[in-house]
A and B are shown apart, each in its own frame.
Chain A
């Protein structure tokens, strides 16, 4: 993108609230049931049936609202959103129009600036309202017809609409990561994108840098991962920029992201806004939420990612990046805190978690909760490195064995005989041999070439299969060569 234009991005996230039963009836919300197994007269829209609000859905929605610093409505109601599409048996969706449960709020994201430092940015939340999900239509391979499964119809959703405060694909990605972390900390949703519990649409427009007016936006749908949200926005910014620079104009339309072609394609033109003819849902009574109830829910809130990251920086001296990686998942943060309780070296534990442990877990597609190496065991490994029993290099061999066998670091080191050599007479013997075999480097060092010593220490490590304590090797060599 040329610097003449800037992007303006807003995201709409639909998150499935984790309830047992649907929002307006007692059908199960379980994923993967047989088609239409979880349906009843209410969610099938049969005449005479009446919806009743699931109190837990409202409770979870308020919880999210508080965490996103939203103004929680004291009075709210539901409305009918009318449209014709066979994914809705009633020909309307019960949603919220002018009295959403959560009004304006904000959340913080962290993005890397051009100089590589991390900076915080406040992204406005426009609103977050409750609504029922629609059914699922299958079109593939069916001639002239569609098949309908209403299991999803009536599943509780919270639609979280951001302000158009995001200005790059990276910021959109950071927003989603941050939002997902909050939702998972709150335990209001499993946020599983593959099962549709988290869905995202992006509104993208461009304008001349410094321009106050918004350009014409397009809405991108069919985004099935955060990476694809980022890619699709990037593509769309480039497409719009090229269009405008070529003298054309952006048309307001809905576009679908095609993952394979890595492009967006027009789905339908939105020149005429939909006329949903919202009106109050007469089958549901209005609601009031007392301040006391909001305060009671506020007390239920756990420490949220941003607060936890701040605490990690302050109490454990972690850097911005390390702290933000560790708090992204509640379980990861919990693992870290358990580990440092067992051995208080936050920086080393953070490093070992982020580099070695996460790589091993990823390779086996395991979550941190199912790590074969417990937090205490990882702390034990770090303790062995710190006490000089093993070198960091050996530790990199120890961890995979711990991972495979579930043994502690001490058990692995003892069994394999990987204890670091700290016996000075043995180190001296090895040093003598290395000095004899590398006379050129010895001369170089004596001639003032300091890095030659590093090479000689390396040779000692090699000769001892990494078992020599590098600090001792350094001392012994320097003393023996003498300058």
Chain B
């Protein structure tokens, strides 16, 4: 199974050494090859699905329920400034 390991690494924002690249290329290739086997299954009688559970139309009522986690989450955050989360300056690309 061939795929562009470098593109995948870039999309995942990770840097790979040549060794890692080779190893991942073969590991991920094997996984994708395994999944590829699914293509041989005859699905002509199976309706298209996007979810494994036989459930549709699960809704929540439009009601506000306060949650009290925000202070705890802020405290646990790697960095914060008052009530804001603080993150390294990011340039969108």
Chain A residues engaging chain B, CB cutoff 8 angstroms: 19-21, 24-28, 34-37, 39-41, 44, 46, 52-58, 77, 82, 84-86, 137-139, 142, 144-150, 267-268, 275, 277, 280, 282, 284-288
Contacts and interface: CB of A to CB of B under 8 A. Distances in A.
Given A26-B64, A55-B61, A147 B51 contact: no
A24 B59 CA distance: 9
B55 A285 contact: yes
Contacts of B81: 145, 147
A20 B63 contact: yes
Given A40-B67, A41-B67, A149-B84, A54 B60 contact: yes
B73 A44 contact: yes
Contacts, number: 129
10 contacts: A26-B67, A28-B64, A28-B66, A46-B73, A54-B61, A55-B59, A137-B90, A146-B87, A282-B51, A288-B57
A36 B74 contact: yes
Nearest to B48: A75
A110 B53 CA distance: 48
Given A35-B83, A39-B69, A52-B60, 20 more contacts: A21-B60, A21-B62, A26-B63, A34-B83, A35-B82, A36-B74, A40-B67, A44-B69, A77-B51, A86-B87, A145-B79, A145-B88, A146-B89, A149-B83, A150-B85, A277-B11, A284-B58, A285-B55, A285-B58, A286-B56
A287 B59 CA distance: 10
Contact of B73 (A19, A39, A56, A85): A39
B90 A146 contact: yes
A318 B56 CA distance: 50
Contact of B11 (A52, A144, A147, A275): A275
Nearest to A139: B89
Contacts of A34: 83
B13 interface: yes
B62 A20 contact: yes
Contacts of A21: 60, 62-65
A128 B15 CA distance: 38
A268 B83 CA distance: 31
B23 interface: no
Contacts of A148: 84-87
B60 A36 contact: no
A147 B86 contact: yes
Contacts of A142: 89
A286 B50 CA distance: 7
A35 B69 contact: no
For the complex of A and B, the 3 pairs showing the least CB-CB separation, nearest first, are A40-B67, A55-B59, A56-B62
